[in-house]
Structure formats: structure tokens, C-alpha cells
Chains A and B, each alone.
Chain A
């Protein structure tokens, strides 16, 4: 703790490994880059099946799998004050200076941020998704978000669209929200030395086959494109990876138009295999109706594919289309005409989104958050009162009870009784030793 610039961060979310997805990846990569910058990072999430307790990941990343059972869609049961003791214990034993919560849909995140604020810690929140305003679920979620963000030190969104959405939903002043885009692991997503040649053009689609990802649009676009380009001069093939409720519709479409030889359905593709699927294609098609930040497009661009999408990248790397079948067909046609002029290596080398860059920008946000003034309970309560006529008073009541419970906990289990964890720093030699062991294992594998 001699270095004043060194932060001690607790990342909290319901979503972390072994579950796989965008938020989980984001937390992991960001934590690794922050560890490389010299900060201390600890992750807290709920237990996944048997995986409960403390685990260590690469680089000394400590993960607490707290044994609270998930009750709905991987979210911990929201008990309001139930998680206060364990969060307090973790904050004290790891000597945390800042709490970073991820994803508005995570109940553990909201509770952790609430308790951290009560105990006087600085808090940063990152929102990864877009939400609506009209349906009952969204209205409730937005109210909860308003409560959490009423008193947050800083907030981060992954794109300008996401910032707009968050600011509108939560009523947060825009000056408090920073935009730091997601990044892609360019070391993993590299184009091949040689593009797949032959007189065929392969269009790759990898996404969850759900309504939100535009699977219904695909059902109309694919037969139309195949009809426009019969196998006379060159072949046009589709590779569809991913699984979901709409898969049945795609299979039906395949049968109906007899496209079995032109449309290949791969099913769910594990993330480790995504690159091998991407490099077998020339064009990447993304038909999402709504997306806060589409990592899939970045991964495709990093592999040197031209993208047809309903979202944004620089103009020469993407062809945009409206979420409408005719428009998408026109966009694919345009993409195929500019395909010969694309150089995959050049696209990969652009280095637009890089995790180290994201980590440095996040560090700036942390510095700003830690500079925020300490406020006592009364000053904070005034912020909650502004949330609404009835909601404001309810939120104030919730925070007052939380404060009282915290004081009670301080009397019952004083902070001096909680043992502080010594910092375990992996020396350079130990790191190399571990990677050497890994290499040996790999060698054995390849020998087999």
C-alpha cells in the first residue's frame, strides 16, 4: 500500500466464469489488464454448482464464489440485506478501496453497490446492455437502476448508444457517465495467411438464435440471397453457428427451399472454436435488432471478414443495413461487390479496440471516482429523495435500515476481528514456471 496510485478493486457481478458470455469475458480481460498495470483485483460472484469458495485464476486473480444460490437466470436471490455481512467481510479482509459492479441485471451487483455505499466506499458501475422502457420488467429494472445509480461515484457504458439509454433510464447526469468500448482479443482472432479461395463466397453468421439477435430476419434474408445468386458463376454459401429457440425456424426454412447444400447449420459453437469458423468465411452477417456493443462484429473484423450489420464500425470495414430483409439483401449484394478490395491483414492490424487501452481508460475513471468527496448519510439521503415521490422515500428508508444494520454488525463483529489477507504477488519466475508446465502439458497432448 506504499504506492498511492495502486488501486484495490473488487469486481462484483452475478455473471462470471464458468458461465460464458460477453460480461464474463469483459470482467476477466479487464481484470487481467488491470493486474498487469499493477493494481490488485478481486472478483466476487455467486457459487456455480459445486464451485464454491475461493479460487485463483491466471495472474493471481482471486475469485470469491459466495455460496448464495441463484434463483432466476443466474441471479442471486435478492434479500436486500442478506449479503451485507459477507460483503463487509470481503471488503475489510482484502482492504478494498473501490467497488466496480457490472451489469444492471445482476442482483448481487446492486446489493453490493448499495452496501459499499453505506460503508463509505467509492463505487463504479458498468452497464453492458440496452433495455426498453415500456414493459413491466423494464420499468421495474429501471427503478432499481435509478436507486443504485442515484449514489454511484462514476458510471461506464460500452458505447454512446448505451450511454444515452442508461442516462434516460436512470436519470443520471451525463457528466458522470464515461464511454469505454469493449475490446477484442486480437491475439486470438487473427486472419489466416491465405483466404479461403475457390469460386465461392462464404457468409458466416454466429449468434444466439433468439428474437433479439434478429434470427427472424435471417429466415427471410438467406433464401432471398440464395435465389439472387444461383450457382452459375460462383457459389454463395452460408454457415450458421449458434443455437436457440429460433433454430427450428431456420431448419424449416432450409427444408422448404431445399438449401441443405448451401446452408450449413453448426449448432452451438464453443468460444474456442469461433475463430476457426470465422476464418472459413469471407463475409460476416449480423442481424441483431438491438445491441449495446457487438463484440461479434469486432471478432469478425479482427479475423479480416467484411461485415454486414445493423450496427457500427468504420465505414470501410462494415456495410450497414436497416433491420429489414430487403435492405439486408441489398447490403449483402454491396458487400460481395467490394469483397475483392478487402485485405484481411490490414483490418486486423487496425488495432481499434484493445483491452490494455480499455484498462488504462478505466484506471482514469477509478482515479476520478476516488477523488469524489466523502459524504455522510444525510447528504446521500437527499439524492435518494429526488428519485420520485413514493420511491424516493422508500429508497431512503431502505438505506437508513442498511446503515443501522451495518452499525449493529460493527458492534457484533468488530473490524479488528477480521483477519486481513496478505497480498500474494506472483513473482516473474513463478509465472514463467507455471507457463512452462503448461507448455509441457501441451507437448504431451500433441504427442498423443
Chain B
């Protein structure tokens, strides 16, 4: 069993080549979590929260009692909505954040693609070997950048694979 490990600032690449009765070739790419990015997301959420509280406090102290109930109702709604949007934001961010991606090559059977997300969700897809036409290195051009990605040409449709970032 041969193990190769390469690392740079953003990614960690692991390769397990298992030979013997059940040969298995696994490649993992683990995204080194960028603490700065996590910090920024939490900071943003915190700022929204503080903003909501500030609005509440400002209007509660400024207004007279006759209209206070109406204002309290409005502010309460704003507060709740902002908390909800915060929660949605953080959840969606973590929902789409990928922790690790793997390609498992099972000779004579096919290829399995896995994506492990931070929320614990795992998405797997298996492509049988007779469906694979060719693996191709593709250059993706977007309006702002250009990057390589590994693509498997599958009979019937095109499929993207491996490191999304």
C-alpha cells in the first residue's frame, strides 16, 4: 500500500494505492480551512445581530409610551427577521462548504466520486467503467478567472469532478 501526501497553503492531497486481492486507488483532496474566511463570516453575522439590537435599543429609549407598543412590535419583527436571516446565512454557508473530496477508482468496476461537507452531509456518485469515455483536463474560463478542472466524459452527458475550487 503506497501513500503519497502533498500539501500547499490551500489544499492537502492524499493518495492511497491499495494492491492485493481487492485493489483500490483512492485520491483525496482536503481543503485546509481558511480561518480568516470563517472569522469573516462570523464577524458579519455578529455585526447584523448588533445592528438589530442597536435599532431596538435606539427606538425603545427615544419613543414615548403611546406609540411604544406599535414600535416594539415593528422592532421585534425586524429583530426576529434579522436573526433568521443570520441563521440561514450561516447554515447555507456551512451547507455548501466542502471539507474533503475523494475519487475512488475500483479497477474493472468504475469510479466513485465523493464530496464531504462541513455540515456532515456526504454526496456520492458512482460511474460504471463502461460509461466512462475519457478523463480530460479542462480549462474553465469565467469572466474573472481561468482554472483547470478534471472532467470525466460520460456516455450520454458531461460531468464535472474533483476539486470545485
A64: B residues at CB distance < 8 A: 141, 146
Contact between A86 and B143, CB atoms less than 8 A apart: yes
A-B pairs with lowest CB-CB distance, top 10: A85-B144, A54-B139, A53-B141, A89-B146, A89-B145, A67-B143, A86-B144, A68-B143, A85-B145, A419-B148
In the complex, number of A-B residue pairs with CB atoms less than 8 Å apart: 35
A97 close to B (CB within 8 Å): no
A52 close to B (CB within 8 Å): yes
Among B139, B141, B148, which residue has its beta carbon within 8 angstroms of that of A67? B141
Among A53, A90, A413, which residue has its beta carbon within 8 angstroms of that of B140? A53
In angstroms, Cα B145 to Cα A93, docked, is: 11
In angstroms, Cα B141 to Cα A64, docked, is: 8
* Chain A residues engaging chain B, CB cutoff 8 angstroms: 52-54, 64-68, 82, 85-86, 89-90, 93, 413, 417, 419, 421
In angstroms, Cα B140 to Cα A67, docked, is: 11
The digit string for B115-148, where 1 denotes a CB below 8 A from any CB of A, is 0000000000000000000000001111111111
B146: A residues at CB distance < 8 A: 54, 64, 86, 89-90, 93
Contact between B143 and A66, CB atoms less than 8 A apart: yes
The digit string for B142-165, where 1 denotes a CB below 8 A from any CB of A, is 111111100000000000000000
Contact between A65 and B144, CB atoms less than 8 A apart: no
Q: Shortest beta-carbon distance, B150 to chain A, in Å?
A: 13
Q: Which residue of A lies closest to B142 (CB)?
A: A67
B2 close to A (CB within 8 Å): no
Contact between A53 and B139, CB atoms less than 8 A apart: yes
Q: Shortest beta-carbon distance, B12 to chain A, in Å?
A: 15
In angstroms, Cα B141 to Cα A90, docked, is: 10
A86: B residues at CB distance < 8 A: 141-146
Q: Which residue of A lies closest to B9 (CB)?
A: A417
15 contacts between A and B (CB under 8 A): A53-B139, A53-B140, A64-B141, A65-B141, A66-B141, A67-B141, A67-B143, A82-B143, A85-B144, A85-B145, A86-B141, A86-B143, A86-B144, A90-B146, A417-B10
A413: B residues at CB distance < 8 A: 145
Q: Shortest beta-carbon distance, A86 to chain B, in Å?
A: 6
Q: Shortest beta-carbon distance, A419 to chain B, in Å?
A: 6
Q: Which of B10, B142, B146: most chain A CB closer than 10 A?
A: B146
In angstroms, Cα B139 to Cα A285, docked, is: 47
In angstroms, Cα B139 to Cα A413, docked, is: 18
Using A85-B144, A86-B142 as known contacts, list a sample of 17 further A-B pairs with CB atoms less than 8 Å apart, ordered by residue number in A. A52-B141, A53-B139, A53-B141, A54-B139, A54-B141, A54-B146, A64-B146, A67-B141, A68-B143, A86-B144, A86-B145, A89-B146, A90-B146, A93-B146, A417-B10, A419-B147, A421-B139
Q: Shortest beta-carbon distance, B8 to chain A, in Å?
A: 9
B140: A residues at CB distance < 8 A: 53
In angstroms, Cα B143 to Cα A85, docked, is: 8
A85: B residues at CB distance < 8 A: 144-145
Q: Shortest beta-carbon distance, B138 to chain A, in Å?
A: 8
Q: Which residue of B lies closest to A90 (CB)?
A: B146
Q: Shortest beta-carbon distance, B64 to chain A, in Å?
A: 49
In angstroms, Cα B141 to Cα A66, docked, is: 6
Q: Shortest beta-carbon distance, B160 to chain A, in Å?
A: 14
Q: Which residue of B lies closest to A86 (CB)?
A: B144
In angstroms, Cα B87 to Cα A77, docked, is: 38
Q: Which of B139, B141, B142, B147: most chain A CB closer than 10 A?
A: B141
In angstroms, Cα B94 to Cα A109, docked, is: 41
B10: A residues at CB distance < 8 A: 417
